[in-house]
Chain A
Amino acid sequence: MPAADAIRVVIAEDSAILRDGLVQLLTDRGFAVIGAVSDAASLEQAIATDPPDVAVVDIRMPPTFTDEGLRAAIGLRRSHPDVGILVFSQYVETRYAAELLAGGASGIGYLLKDRVADVADFVEALVRVASGGTALDPEVVTQLMGASRRTDTLAGLSGREREVLALMAEGRTNSAIAASLVISEGAVEKHVANIFSKLDLPATSSDHRRVLAVLRYLEG
């Protein structure tokens, strides 16, 4: 039995084997899976009747198997801004990610399906999205970086600062970034401060600035 304060999840995935696997995995990890559906319409219905903390949404679902899940996710963003959305796809598409993030990066995740194989990372990403954070697949970040290279908005950043920003976009905390780049947390803080000033971001709460920096970065 999940605890009373367990994170409430709705899963929308058309492949039965994957859907069952996800339900089993998340229940095992203490999440409360309150719905598991196989198409976009049922997802919208499930969320309307009982809004969860986070929805895991496959991009390709019936009937056309193109971008139903993404359309549903964008719709949910508008109707239920409090529900975190983790979009889940076999492929990375720049345009999808950009569309999804257009309304703000908080409470949004975009992961390749492969990532569920690394259970701990996946669960961590889901928790982050449920609590309003961001989780972008490294491959999504690489591609968005590629898409944004054409403009010079980020030209002023040093190589290290770009690396830090890319990890911020994935949704990592300063300590996680420090661990990943094998530098001290203080150094990361210095880089982050430099990024904020170079991107000319207002001095509000640090979380908000992080989101803004990531958005600026993604917009290129």
Chain B
Amino acid sequence: MAGAGGRWVQIRIPEQRADQVKRLAWLVAREPFQKRSWAELGFFLASSALACTAVFLLAALGMAGLALAVVLVGVLVLAGDLRVARGLAGWQRALARRMLGEEISEPEPLSPRPGLFAWLRASLGDRAAWRAVGYFVAKLPLTVFGVWFALSVWLEALSGIASPLLGGGAQARFGLFGRPFDPGNGGSPPGFATHVAIFVSGLVLLLVAPWTMRLVVYLDRGMMQLMLGPGAAASRVRSLEESRSKTLQAASETLRRIERDLHDGTQAQLVALAMRLGQAKEKLDHLGGGDDTAELAAVKRLIDEAHRGAKDAITDLRDLARGIHPPALDTGLENALATLASRSAVPTEVTVSILSRPSPAIEAISYFCAAELLANVAQHSRASRASLTCAQHGPWLRIVVRDNGQGGAALDRLGPSSSGLAGLADRVGAVDGHLSIASPPGGPTAVTVDLPSRS
């Protein structure tokens, strides 16, 4: 299509514009037939139904809980209510993931320590659950807005298109933005022209509907990210916990390496030294017979002392290495605790039920706690029997040391008997664990240590 140069340029620009318009028209025209548009409509319907159910259920449980709050049952119901809110928030996240492909991170997990009171406290103070309640309550006005602004357009469009087939009039339809929609026939019985007008307006609305719905769903996405994901403080706490966990891991690996170096290097050398000295001692004994000269006797005494010194050093070094990293831990906490209990001066019964191994740092802390507590039993309790249990309760590892001694153990009391417990509580607290003591005067004593299995 050749023409004069000037004309060519003049035509070219409108053609480009026409292209843009065509592309835009195509984009708008195909939108009603995109899977995404229908998924958003489906999501709106499903999530609105979920939100209405959630608000009804949570309000009913909440009111029941408040009504019964004077008795403990009410508090239980309230706590349960919040657990339900947490669960429903999970469903909502699943809806968003499945239907919209919107990923919303899980909020901070709720991991109460074992025990009813701890469970209650954690459930009632569960920020993620409270935020979920907030989401569902805020979702109600959004739902009303969505019905008015987006769902009505969809319904009007679909019923307009279906109208010629069904032969229905304006009265049978839903209206638009809360008003009866009428393409201008003033309520008189519909003629052919009206049918055409309604059908065409249906088609036009069909092109609009996906976009209004998209806006509503966009608002909902924002709300979900804000209220159903992890809170800002919680995210920060989590990242700090992760870095602490790495530090702990590195420290426990270093300790293990030091222990191994001692074992393979220094200890082996000392044993070899002691062995040689032992040999030398025996040979000297054979050599000397009965009539030792003064000098031979002196050499014998020196060798004897060196021999004894080497043996003492081996024992000391073994205790030192065991304090750095108990080698029994290499094969698991169960073995290590069994060995520990059998070394205890007070007869101790051991029960260990661990399904998956805790992290090495937690295993080491558990071991040292058990060692310290059993040492306390032996030193202060005057008990004749003790028991050591170690069991997993969800994400928690619970260690309980009981004895039938005189009781009276305390965390804050000054004096030699309490310093160990206070130090232990610090050590446990450093990994967000918890130590509690039940020790009435006269006994019996039970010390409970809760540690997070993974830290």
Contacts and interface: CB of A to CB of B under 8 A. Distances in A.
Chain A complexes with chain B:
yes
B263 A150 contact: no
B347 A150 contact: yes
B348 interface: yes
Interface stretch (A113-121, A124-132, A184-192): A113-121
A66 B330 contact: yes
17 contacts: A25-B275, A64-B330, A90-B267, A90-B327, A91-B318, A93-B328, A93-B335, A94-B338, A113-B267, A114-B271, A117-B271, A117-B275, A117-B310, A143-B339, A144-B342, A146-B343, A150-B347
B268 interface: yes
A119 B272 CA distance: 11
Contacts, number: 97
Nearest to B285: A120
Interface of A: 14-15, 17-18, 20-22, 25, 28, 60, 64-67, 90-95, 113-114, 116-120, 143-144, 146-147, 149-150
Interface stretch (B60-68, B76-84, B97-105, B276-284): B276-284
B342 A147 contact: yes
A136 B226 CA distance: 66
Given A67-B330, A91-B322, 13 more contacts: A18-B271, A28-B279, A90-B321, A94-B342, A117-B271, A117-B275, A117-B314, A118-B278, A119-B275, A144-B342, A146-B347, A147-B342, A150-B347
A116 B264 contact: no
Interface in B283-318: 307, 310-311, 314-315, 318
Contacts of B328: 91, 93
A114 B310 CA distance: 9
B321 to A, nearest CB: 8
B53 interface: no
Interface string B335-351: 10011011110011100
Contacts of B419: none
Contacts of B276: 21
A117 B274 contact: yes
Contacts of A113: 267, 271, 314
Contacts of B344: 146
A94 B340 CA distance: 9
Nearest to B271: A113
B331 interface: yes
